[in-house]
Amino acid sequence: MKPYRTIVKDGLWDNNMVAGQLLAMCPAMAVTATATNGLGMGLATTVVLVASNVLVASIRQLVPSAVRIPIFIVLIATLVTLVDMALNAWLHDLYKVLGLFIALIVVNCGILGRAESFASKSPIAASAVDGLAMGLGFTLSLVAIGSVRELLGSGSLFSQAHLLLGPAFAFLEMKFFDGGALLMILPPGGFIVLGLLLAGKRIWEARRAERRRNLEVSASAA
Amino acid sequence: MSEPLSLERLRPTIPYQAAALAVTVMTASLALSFAEGFTRGPIEHAIAEDTRRSLAEVLPTGSFDNDPGTDRLEARDGDIPVVVHIARQAGVPSAVVLETSTRGYSGEIGLVVGIDREGKVTGVRVTRHSETPGLGDKIEVAKSDWVHHFVGRHLADPDPARWAVRKDGGVFDQFAGATITPRAVVGAVKRSLELYAREHERWFARREAS
């Protein structure tokens, strides 16, 4: 089994859901017009992801591999619907902010991806850690895309954060200039920023690999 | 050791797979129907509370002592269903709130329009929409004070031809980069006033709902 350190690093960076696995593109494109929306979607997904990973890991020995996909889909859809109803009933104000995102989580293939490629083969605790790390990595990517789009598109950062996180977080809301490039807020902006994010991650990793190789060369030379 | 071994042998068989699927689906349905039963009441309550709050926002405070949320009747404006809430002071109608909708740039915009006895707008709020974030969403009161410009207007102020956005020769601002959304909202408010002018006598003639 992978050590926890690797699981966390995988989720946050190496195998990041958006920037590494290229999964969950639909929610990543749809809601990231602002950084706050990215944060909301990311956090809601994290909660569902941890719960679904734990659930799948705990029944993994009972599930026959031939029908595992339909079983996982039913479990995830049920879980999301339960979260949706519970929030709507008991945390209605939060639901009004997050409701849009929760319905979108059902179509998030990243969650099925984790159930299939990790939780169905791993113990419960490791699956929970994987869900948490993957969820936070997803949140990170969404906030990054959302920040760039919001900054270039409307000249602000984390606008409406107080609606999501409560009035105490109003200090996050920043306004730099009025107007901005409309294109960034519209869907094409999402694709452009995602492309730049992917390219940036590749360049960074290539540079780092090269630096390591140079170090090794100089070390062996010395 | 015999337990995991027998499970190992059972798992690939068709009856086991069918049973696993059936049990999963049954458990899921059971869980959902129980949860639906538990949450139905609180959800209805929360939605009613939302409606009450948005009604109170478009009516002048202290202008009514009934619960306009339950004092309601249904009307039609062409093919748009409209819910009419009647605010009363000591049983006498003092204002109405129309829950109506219109087509925006991307999908339906739901709004509530408060109108007093003289036919003046007392307030407008958008209750739901899916307009472009950063452009069309300035119709939300949380993001812009644009909807406040309707307060105090009536069918003769501005005159009917100027009840439109500036681009169409009217008096209401459109937004930079978005004309369709504010045009839809201006149109919906105007239609609400016209509906009120046509029908309010019939609405007020109705006995107060108990």
Find, in chain A, the residue whose alpha carbon is nearest to that of B30. Answer: A78
A64, A119, B8, B16 from B12: Cα distances, Å: 6, 20, 8, 7
In angstroms, the CA A119 to CA A131 distance is 9
Instruction: Give the phi and the psi of residue B81 in degrees, each rounded to 5.
Output: -70, 135
The verdict on ipTM greater than 0.90 is no
To test the contact with chain A by mutation, choose from B43, B140, B144, B175 the residue with the greatest count of A C-beta atoms within 10 A, namely B43
Place of tokens 């004309």: B179
**Tens of pLDDT, residues B42-95:** 998 988 888 888 888 999 888 888 888 888 888 888 889 999 999 998 888 999
Stated as kind and residue range, the H or E segment containing B108 is strand B108-116
Q: Which of A29, A167, A4, A185 is nearest to A108 (CA)?
A: A29
- Residue with structure tokens 């009856």? B15
Partner-chain contact B134 A179, CB within 8 Å: no
In tens, the pLDDT along A99-114 reads 777 877 877 888 999 9
CA distance B177 to B165: 13
Residue B196: the pLDDT is: 94
* B121-178 pLDDT tens trace: 999 999 888 787 667 888 988 778 899 999 999 999 888 889 999 999 999 998 877 8
Q: At what angle do helices A35-58 and A92-105 cross, to 10 degrees?
A: 70
For A78-91, write each residue's pLDDT tens digit.
Answer: 999 998 898 888 88
Chain A hits for B133, CB-CB cut-off 8 Å, are: 33-34, 37, 185
Residue of B nearest to A75 (CA): B28
pTM beyond cutoff 0.80: no
Compute the distance between CA of residue A83 and CA of residue B35 in angstroms, rounded to an integer: 10
Q: Which two tokens stand for residue A1?
A: 């089994």
3-state secondary structure of B20: helix
Contacts of A64 in chain B (CB under 8 A): 11-12, 16-17, 20
Cβ contact A186–B7 (<8 Å): no
Confidence of residue B208 (pLDDT cuts 50, 70, 90): low
The nearest CA of chain B is from the CA of A208 a distance in Å of 38
Q: Tokens 């948490």 label which residue? A: A132
